[in-house]
Chain A
Amino acid sequence: MNREYKEAVVELLYQLADDDLLVSYRGSEWLGLVPHIEEDVAYSSITQNTMGHAAIYYGILEELGEGKVDDLAQLRPANERKNAIILEEKNGQGHWLYEEPRYDWAFTVVRNYFYEAIKKKKIDSLKQSTYEPLVQTAIKIDTEARYHLMHWQTWFEQLIRAGGEAEERMKAAIEKVWKDIGGVLSLGPNEEKIVSAGIIESEAVLKERFLADMKEKFAELGLEFPGEPGMERGDGRAGVHTEDLEEAIATLSEVYALDPAVPW
């Protein structure tokens, strides 16, 4: 593997790993507080699966000499993180944990639905990757990704079809998430290297596939299509992030950072 190829692989792996880590971190905050007990249980498995996917990607990075899995997941500062900004955003108003958190289920459903829809497109594309470990990973996690998408799509459709307040809240959440969903599609400043090395298809191609599905779904549900996905707050792949990410990293690494050298 020449240096340039490896750099491109590493770049994409960080994007995939950090995305899954942040989504699952936000999911882990919901545990115990979901609006319905049965859904609390179901959602947690999705969160665990997703953190499991992050662990697989960090594992490949470890094999590539990037460092220990837990160091990669927990010790990298915010400006080195490659996740999309919308995924680091807090679940809602208030703070972890006893400072009046008001987690927003509509936002959670919409963010997860769009995220999983894009993730599935990436996984399908990775099955054709020139990098074999990514092909194997894509094949392996495909069924879970499919399941996650089905889960969130069901919630998405039902809450919109419910009409009234639910539909209003969902529309507001769609508007909010759409402004930054472009960050999940983004392959970052190094897209050219990643794509020309055949590691994954281009952002434009992935976006087109994602938008085709969304247009169909929005039409089916009688929703107005919001147009071009935005990236208003910047590109997380380029290290642009918000305070929410710093807070998230501080929390998730609080214990490990006490002494990363010893077993816990």
Chain B
Amino acid sequence: MAISVRDAEKVKYREFMERIEAGEKIEADDWMPDEYRQTLIKLISMHGISEIMGALPEKEWTPKAPTLYRKLAIMAKVQDEVGHGQLLLRVAEDLIKPYGKTREDLIQDLFSGKLKFHNVFHWKTKSWADAGLIGWLVDGAAIITQTNMLDASYAPYARALKRIAAEEVFHAQHGEAIAVALAKGTEQQKQMMQDALNRWWPALMMFFGPPTAETTGSSKQEITIKYKIRKNTNEDLRQFYLTKYVPRIQGIGLTIPDETLRYDEEKKEWIYRQPDWNEFLKIIRNEGPMSQERLRIRKLSYENNAWVREALGLNTAVNV
């Protein structure tokens, strides 16, 4: 009996793989291999919570944005990021539902350190130029990652990413506009922008994660590619990013703080200085420059207003 059950599972698995290889999409209530579900849960809950935590570095500059127009634009932009968190957490919540888990569990996992947020959102911001840099180059990197999953085999994720990608067009141009204004502005403004780039370049090189599993001991990239969730490896995405953004960065007169950076025509790839992957390891243990501060403020606001959720959660029938 045990053997036939296992065979049945094998058949199901094969059929599942055939479906996704044929470009079919999977819905939340379709049968799926456990590895697929676990991979999705890990990926999408981390993606969702990173949007929420990623609101914080830019939020630091939202009320300080230089003009009313910029204040409004960055507010709309950060609002979108929180909205992306909302979309993605909903997708993740549907996936953890069979385990009796909810958003509350995801948030608690964030606080306990079990659920990590993206490495790029652990860094410090120092000036308005950092807000411009995030909107321009961090969002740029995020757009590369996210568009790479637009055709994901998991339909609810693909639907969320489609909405997100549409908004990212605004984010990309919003970020560029701030960066261009500074890079083409006064000496003081130019310097602000260059300093921000110097500060953030290592973080940008870390953004896509290490090229192989050697650095962190494990890497999900092969599994996500196998299941047609994403298309490219970490390194491919970094190469793609450099191709798209290096000419733009240099084109507006900024200097990339890596004198070894060059495009190797023969190998058809970018040569660049590896960031300090030890720093990366610290960050993914929540020991980055701002990890604890950002977790603290998120936790504080969550707990401080827990009474709001309790009040309305207990009284779902308060509609008149």
Cβ-defined contact, A163 with B315, below 8 A? yes
- Chain B interface: which size bin? 35 or more
Whether A264 touches B181, Cβ cut-off 8 Å, given contacts A70-B67, A98-B297, is yes
A162 close to B (CB within 8 Å)? yes
- Chain A interface: which size bin? 35 or more
Cβ-defined contact, A259 with B188, below 8 A? yes
Interface of A is mostly: helix
B83 close to A (CB within 8 Å)? yes
Query: Which of B61, B310, B312 is within 8 Å of A158, CB to CB?
Result: B312
Query: Which of A35, A97, A159, A256 is within 8 Å of B302, CB to CB?
Result: A35
Find the A residue at minimum CB distance from B192: A258
Whether A101 touches B82, Cβ cut-off 8 Å, given contacts A32-B59, A69-B68, is no
Cβ-defined contact, A101 with B297, below 8 A? yes
The stretch among B70-78, B137-145, B153-161, B211-219 that forms the contact with chain A is B70-78
Cβ-defined contact, B301 with A29, below 8 A? no
Cβ-defined contact, A258 with B188, below 8 A? yes
B314 close to A (CB within 8 Å)? yes
Cβ-defined contact, B86 with A41, below 8 A? yes
A31 close to B (CB within 8 Å)? yes
Once the chains are docked, how many angstroms separate the CA of A166 from the CA of B308? Answer: 7
> What's the nearest-Cβ distance from chain A to residue B306, in Å?
8
> What's the nearest-Cβ distance from chain B to residue A212, in Å?
20
Cβ-defined contact, B293 with A48, below 8 A? no
Once the chains are docked, how many angstroms separate the CA of A58 from the CA of B71? Answer: 15
Find the A residue at minimum CB distance from B79: A44
Residues of B at the A interface (CB closer than 8 Å) are: 52, 55-56, 59-68, 70-72, 75-76, 78-79, 82-83, 85-86, 89, 127-128, 178, 181-182, 185-186, 188-189, 293, 296-298, 300-302, 304-312, 314-315, 318, 320
* CB pairs A–B below 8 angstroms (24 shown): A25-B63, A28-B63, A28-B75, A29-B63, A31-B55, A33-B301, A35-B309, A37-B52, A37-B82, A37-B85, A38-B86, A41-B86, A44-B79, A47-B75, A51-B68, A55-B72, A69-B68, A158-B312, A158-B315, A159-B311, A254-B64, A255-B61, A262-B189, A264-B67
